[in-house]
């Protein structure tokens, strides 16, 4: 009888699941960051927007986007 020893600690299926979960985690982090940046943009005064070179209308348009939209 021959016994085969696997060098992989986890089956391929588990590696794929972990990869998908890592991708989802990264996407959720990106969305959270984007939502926070848009919230800060919406809170900026006209003077602050002028300092960074963004018009009030452009800031409103960007801040009004959902977090999942680029």
pTM (2 d.p.): 0.72
The count of other CB atoms within 10 Å of the CB of residue 62 is 14
For 12-63, what is each residue's pLDDT tens digit? 788 899 999 999 999 999 999 999 999 999 999 999 999 999 999 999 999 9
CB 63 within 8 A of CB 41: yes
Cα dihedral sign for 50, 48, 43, 40?
Answer: positive
Task: Tell which residue, 40, 31, 46, has the closest CA to residue 62.
Answer: 40
Q: How many CB atoms lie within 10 A of CB 6?
A: 7
56-70: pLDDT as tens digits: 999 999 999 999 999
């Amino acid at each position: 009888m021959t016994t085969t020893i696997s060098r992989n600690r986890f089956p391929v299926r588990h590696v794929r699941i972990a990869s998908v979960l890592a991708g989802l985690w990264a996407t959720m982090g990106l969305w959270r960051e984007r939502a926070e940046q848009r919230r800060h943009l919406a809170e900026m005064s006209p003077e602050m927007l002028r300092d960074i070179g963004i018009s009030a209308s452009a800031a409103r348009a960007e801040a009004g986007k959902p977090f999942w939209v680029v």
